[in-house]
Chain A
């Protein structure tokens, strides 16, 4: 426990890779600079944690119970490792970022400068230099009891920062300029405020890059949309932006900023480390049932939110479900699907998969509704448990339908009134497929309590009207084992804020096959 004066620079000159040979490939020095100046004097620090593991460094500093740390790192290693470090930083309170005028984000700068600055600051604070590094934080004394007014500034500013965080007007319409100056003088909404790091992928109408904001050091995903001279802005981009601007939810990807130039349009999204497709590749053979429950809960939470706003996602698939390092699941890629005709073929050669499409839409129905997304979520549910897609059709709509009939049985006018009037319905489909128990088709269900199968069955109901809604699914007994507070969370709060919600270590991991044996050695809060 210690309090800081005007500026406290904690220098932890620890080579974090010390004791693990040359694995780091270079020396990584981490410097934490806690800039209190603008936060008012005497912020109370009640917890300081420093986690170091072979693959990552995680620092967190609890200020007034809120995780809020400021970290400067200087590295002499590759960009990849840098981002790893950054990604693992806890959700740093924006307030600190906004208010720390003396904040520096130093990327491969000379180490000398930093050492200099730190030494100076330490001298100002009257800290003694020790034999190898500087005085350890834990040994600092002069503890004062916390005063309520210390916390005041922090909380007030935190609220303000939270509100305006996510669109192209990150300051919420207020002019913060006179209050504090950005070091770099960079603005939101301009291209040179972001630095491209690497290409992450290419879609039908856009290319996605990983980038870093030069304003506040956040990692971002930059979706650069190609503009066609004859057609202007692609309609998918318009839909995506106009829909996402109205959506603020912990399970929806956050749109930070929009940059438009004459030639291109760039959407700046929050950076999320991986997606469910990659996660399932990394952990083959089905995921941990507990993790599936957490992912499903978040997926349904996101869907329930957008459905309550009369928005359909229409293109659910594991690639569009982003997963953060904590395990937070976020819906992404809005507006890529059309409303009346879901695209079979995009402009590129890539064929949009039919695997997650419900039978009514495959049969040519166009008056679909929220039940469309529920079917996709149900398919993803089974894929997560089983490790393989639920209905992996290969060729066309008809083969896809046959895959579904094999499990659910061929619909008849008795079992599904009105089915014969759908455009793609063919009377000659008498394959004699009887409805089957899910546990006979997908073996994982047999090993799990019945309520798992029951939820899947309710999501994968043939008749769209009878499919469970996202809101009802959240109250299904399957989720009873989650801690109760997850049901009462505010929209913007992640389920991982609830104590007791965290991912279990997956049984299979292709990157570290021995991980399971030593998992008890890992610090808590780590996932994979």
Chain B
């Protein structure tokens, strides 16, 4: 596989590399027909792994492939190593034929399998994550009941919040914050994007949905999310 990572230990370069690799995971996941949650698990595994490991030591794209494979096992959407390898091969060399089943292919497959064990060891088998998706769904239902029916129909709040949440996996936001907080922030940002006001009672709507979050926390996570969108402009 090609190595796009730069050897320089510059942290902004590292962030860019991680962004690109996560983009790769998400794209590959879509091509392999993975559901949102397994893709989210693959990204979380990747971020968790590189929280403690160094980019100089481990090839990020190999780790990413193993993360995809492992997340299929964890989330019980089983994937075949051969499919993963072929899809990844196509990602790097668009339009090329699938790999021959030769020595090189078996070596590649063995490295993916070995790297899976490495990830398991590095993460100490903590590979089940609680994802914000189910919380977002729950919050969306609650907020919809609070809003005017027409205001809801006019604006794509649900789609935007969902997209924001999926995009958040480009960065390590998912392993740094609680799933509830992340889901709430995605919804908050989506509502603000379209200028939709949620009628406030004694407390703000988000305080009702999630009791342990503060305005400052929402803003901090929002900043991180917006930085990811800046990153996209730099990386592509």
Contacts and interface: CB of A to CB of B under 8 A. Distances in A.
Interface of A: 167-169, 227, 229-233, 235, 238-239, 241-243, 245-246, 258, 260, 265, 338-340
A227 B112 CA distance: 14
Given A168-B124, A230-B81, A242-B128, A235 B116 contact: no
A235 B128 contact: no
Interface residues of B, number: 21
B113 A242 contact: no
Nearest to B109: A230
A242 B125 contact: yes
A242 B110 contact: no
Interface centre among B112, B116, B120, B121 (most CB of A within 10 A): B120
Contact of A231 (B113, B124, B125, B127): B113
B176 interface: no
A230 B73 contact: no
A339 to B, nearest CB: 5
Interface centre among A229, A233, A258, A265 (most CB of B within 10 A): A233
B79 to A, nearest CB: 11
Contacts of B121: 260
Given A233-B117, A239-B128, A242-B127, 9 more contacts: A230-B81, A230-B109, A233-B116, A238-B70, A238-B73, A241-B125, A242-B74, A242-B125, A339-B76
B128 A243 contact: yes
A230 B124 CA distance: 22
A232 B74 contact: no
A242 B114 CA distance: 18
Contacts of B113: 229-232
A55 to B, nearest CB: 39
Contacts of A227: 117
A235 B78 contact: yes
Contacts of B70: 238
A338 B76 contact: yes
B126 interface: yes
B175 to A, nearest CB: 15
A456 B125 CA distance: 37
Contact of A238 (B74, B81, B112, B114): B74
B179 to A, nearest CB: 12
B74 A235 contact: yes
B125 A232 contact: no
Contacts of B126: 242, 245-246
A190 to B, nearest CB: 13
B139 interface: no
A245 B76 contact: no
Given A230-B113, A235-B78, A238-B120, A245 B125 contact: yes
Contact of B124 (A169, A233, A239): A169
A246 B124 CA distance: 12
A521 to B, nearest CB: 48
A235 B109 CA distance: 17
Interface string B99-114: 0000000000110111
B76 A258 contact: no
B69 interface: yes
Interface in B36-84: 69-70, 73-74, 76, 78, 81
A166 to B, nearest CB: 13
A338 B72 CA distance: 13
Contacts of B76: 235, 338-340
A169 B126 CA distance: 13
Contacts of A246: 126, 128
B135 to A, nearest CB: 12
| Among B69, B74, B125, B128, residue most surrounded by chain A Cβ atoms (within 10 Å) | B125
B132 to A, nearest CB: 14
A241 B114 CA distance: 18
25 contacts: A167-B124, A168-B124, A169-B124, A230-B81, A230-B109, A230-B113, A232-B112, A232-B116, A233-B73, A233-B120, A235-B74, A235-B76, A238-B73, A238-B120, A238-B125, A239-B128, A241-B125, A242-B125, A242-B128, A243-B128, A245-B125, A258-B125, A260-B117, A338-B76, A340-B76
A340 B16 CA distance: 37
